[in-house]
């Protein structure tokens, strides 16, 4: 009998228990053994719940029970999730998690500790919810030099941007709608400020490129400032707006960024709508690959975690262990890169904006504002142009995602 403990009995933890209960026969066949949830660690009261008798409040009960071989960490946050995961691993238990904040900060260390203790630390559910991406990147694409990873990795913000695009809703209304439907948290800042995407991007970069990437070192912009006008101007020119996590590698290092981008309607990620996620990986042998599916939610996330439980019970190895210290200059500043850009300013083409009109490939005037589609240039080059226009009032400035052009100017 395989005995599992679940830490955190919220949306994800209860989803894991449900799958173990509902798919018992299927899992038993796959594992050649029965599987059961022995403990649930949570401080809340679950009186009346079918599994209430398994709830414990003291982690040491799990830590000291040799019958528990796999611990599911669905607590979220860094502490005490980190401390409990470390103790569980040292007690020779494999740990399975969906906690992207913890994995992006301490994943390397926990993987190393798991290896030392002959157990597994698995985190398929930490990126893309139910979408298989961690194992495909670690194992299935191992024959490739990865050159880039690009994705819509946050369901909440993708839902908000889709609502804004389809209904012309202002950001605040689309956010309230997402909260009412349970897609966005009451405090939605980790999602809408891009931090959640950033953590996920860092985990993928760790695996794809082999060095620890600290989320604090990544340029990260969210979607709070996106307006319906940005979206309608973009649509008129054949673009949608998506919050992308993107990282690419050249011979010296990697350039990561999280930001809202104008994305051509012909790009495959432009079709990823609502709460769905899509992640593209480019390898030098396989070419372009795309992973698509439910990026959040109880059942999809729990599906990935139960997949990890099966993996933990079967194979005694861990995902790629990336190195802790990258060489100097490994993570480059994205400001060295040239981006095409949509820039909307107060005023019309007829007045002092001729400088912009001259370098723009397209301009859209509407009321007292003009949107310019500018060719690829660095932040510094753009600043030189903007300085030439006195009292310029920039309303909106969004990069256009053109993969071929997104290379450091001197690279
Ligand atoms: N808040 C996250 C999202 C949950 O909206 O994608 C899944 O990581």
50 and 102 share a domain? yes
Catalytic residue among 115, 200, 242, 323: 200
Q: What is the pLDDT of residue 319?
A: 59
For a mutational test of ligand 1's pocket, the pick from 189, 191, 258, i.e. the residue with the most ligand atoms closer than 8 A to its C-beta, is 191
Going by C-beta distance under 8 Å and a sequence separation of 6 or more, which residues neighbour residue 103?
97, 110, 123, 126, 199, 203
Distance 375 CA to ligand 1 centre (A): 33
147 and 112 share a domain? no
148 and 279 share a domain? yes
Q: What is the pLDDT of residue 314?
A: 80
List Cβ<8 Å contacts ≥24 apart for 74-77: 74/6, 74/7, 74/8, 74/9, 74/10, 74/12, 74/13, 74/16, 74/98, 74/99, 74/305, 75/7, 75/8, 75/13, 75/99, 76/8, 76/10, 76/101, 77/101, 77/102
152 and 254 share a domain? yes
Structural domain containing residue 339: 335-408
Distance 154 CA to ligand 1 centre (A): 5
Q: Is the CB–ligand 1 distance for residue 300 below 6 Å?
A: no
CATH for 343: 3.30.70
Q: Which of 229, 257, 292 is the last residue of a domain?
A: 292
Q: Which of 101, 129, 157 is the last residue of a domain?
A: 129
Distance 294 CA to ligand 1 centre (A): 10
On whether residue 299 sits in a domain, the answer given is no
The three-point CA angle 35-40-127 to 5° equals 80
Distance 155 CA to ligand 1 centre (A): 5
125 and 162 share a domain? no
Q: Is the CB–ligand 1 distance for residue 191 below 6 Å?
A: yes
Residue whose CA lies nearest to ligand 1 atom number 4: 296
68 and 160 share a domain? no
190 and 63 share a domain? no
On whether residue 204 sits in a domain, the answer given is yes
On whether residue 308 sits in a domain, the answer given is no
On whether residue 312 sits in a domain, the answer given is no
Going by C-beta distance under 8 Å and a sequence separation of 6 or more, which residues neighbour residue 301?
11, 12, 15, 98, 125, 129, 130
Phi, psi (degrees; rounded to nearest 5) at 147: -105, -30
CATH for 166: 3.30.360.10
On whether residue 309 sits in a domain, the answer given is no
85, 154, 123: which is closest to 307 by C-alpha? Answer: 123
Residue whose CA lies nearest to ligand 1 atom number 7: 296
**What's the domain count of the chain?**
3
On whether residue 321 sits in a domain, the answer given is no
Q: What is the pLDDT of residue 321?
A: 74
pTM of the shown model: 0.91
Q: Is 115 a catalytic residue?
A: no
On whether residue 21 sits in a domain, the answer given is yes
From first to last of the 411 residues of the chain, give the pLDDT tens digit. 999 999 999 999 999 999 999 999 999 988 889 999 999 999 999 999 999 999 999 999 999 999 999 999 999 999 999 999 999 999 999 999 999 999 999 999 999 999 999 999 999 999 999 999 999 999 999 999 999 999 999 999 999 999 999 999 999 999 999 999 888 888 999 999 999 999 999 999 999 999 999 999 999 999 999 999 999 999 999 999 999 999 999 999 999 999 999 999 999 999 999 999 999 999 999 999 999 999 999 999 999 999 999 999 985 445 567 888 999 999 989 998 999 999 999 987 665 578 898 999 999 988 889 999 999 999 999 999 999 998 899 999 999 997 665 555 543
Residue whose CA lies nearest to ligand 1 atom number 2: 154
155 and 222 share a domain? yes
219 and 190 share a domain? yes
201 and 65 share a domain? no
192 and 285 share a domain? yes
On whether residue 267 sits in a domain, the answer given is yes
Q: Which of 230, 265, 292 is the last residue of a domain?
A: 292
For the CA of 153, the closest atom of ligand 1 is 6
Q: Is the CB–ligand 1 distance for residue 154 below 6 Å?
A: yes
Q: Is the CB–ligand 1 distance for residue 101 below 6 Å?
A: no
Distance 190 CA to ligand 1 centre (A): 9
355 and 287 share a domain? no
């Amino acid at each position: 009998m395989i005995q599992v403990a679940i830490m955190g009995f919220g949306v994800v933890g209860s989803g894991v228990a449900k799958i173990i209960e509902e798919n018992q026969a299927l899992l038993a066949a796959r594992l050649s053994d029965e599987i059961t949830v022995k403990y649930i660690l949570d401080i809340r009261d679950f009186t009346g719940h079918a599994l209430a008798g398994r709830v414990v409040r003291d982690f040491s009960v799990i830590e000291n029970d040799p019958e528990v071989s796999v611990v599911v960490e669905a607590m979220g946050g860094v502490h005490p999730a980190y401390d409990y995961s470390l103790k569980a691993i040292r007690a020779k238990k494999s740990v399975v998690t969906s906690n992207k904040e913890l994995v992006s900060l301490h994943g390397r260390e926990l993987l190393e500790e798991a290896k030392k203790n002959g157990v597994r630390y698995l985190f398929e559910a930490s990126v893309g919810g139910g979408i298989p991406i961690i194992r495909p990147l670690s194992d299935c694409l191992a024959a490739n030099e990865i050159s880039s990873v690009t994705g819509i990795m946050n369901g909440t913000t993708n839902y908000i941007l889709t609502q804004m695009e389809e209904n012309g809703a202002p950001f605040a209304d689309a956010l309230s709608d997402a909260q009412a439907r349970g897609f966005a948290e009451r405090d939605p800042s980790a999602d809408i400020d891009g931090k959640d995407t950033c953590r996920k991007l860092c985990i993928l970069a760790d695996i794809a490129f082999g060095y620890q990437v600290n989320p604090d070192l990544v340029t990260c912009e969210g979607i709070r400032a996106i307006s319906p006008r940005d979206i309608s101007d973009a649509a008129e020119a054949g673009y949608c707006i998506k919050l992308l996590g993107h990282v690419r590698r050249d011979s010296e290092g990697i350039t990561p960024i999280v930001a809202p981008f104008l994305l051509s309607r012909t790009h495959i990620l432009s079709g990823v709508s609502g709460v769905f996620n899509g992640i593209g990986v480019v390898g030098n042998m396989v070419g372009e690959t795309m992973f698509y599916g439910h990026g959040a939610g109880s059942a999809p996330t729990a599906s990935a975690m139960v997949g990890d439980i099966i993996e933990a019970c079967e194979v005694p190895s861990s995902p790629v262990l990336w190195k802790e210290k990258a060489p100097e200059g490994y993570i480059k500043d994205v400001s060295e890169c040239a981006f095409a850009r949509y820039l909307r300013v107060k005023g019309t083409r007829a007045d002092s904006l001729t400088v912009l009109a001259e370098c723009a490939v397209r301009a859209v005037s509407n009321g007292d504002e003009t949107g310019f589609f500018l060719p690829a240039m660095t932040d510094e080059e753009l600043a030189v142009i903007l300085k030439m226009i006195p009292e310029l009032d920039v309303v909106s400035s969004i990069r256009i995602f053109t993969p071929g052009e997104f290379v450091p100017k001197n690279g």
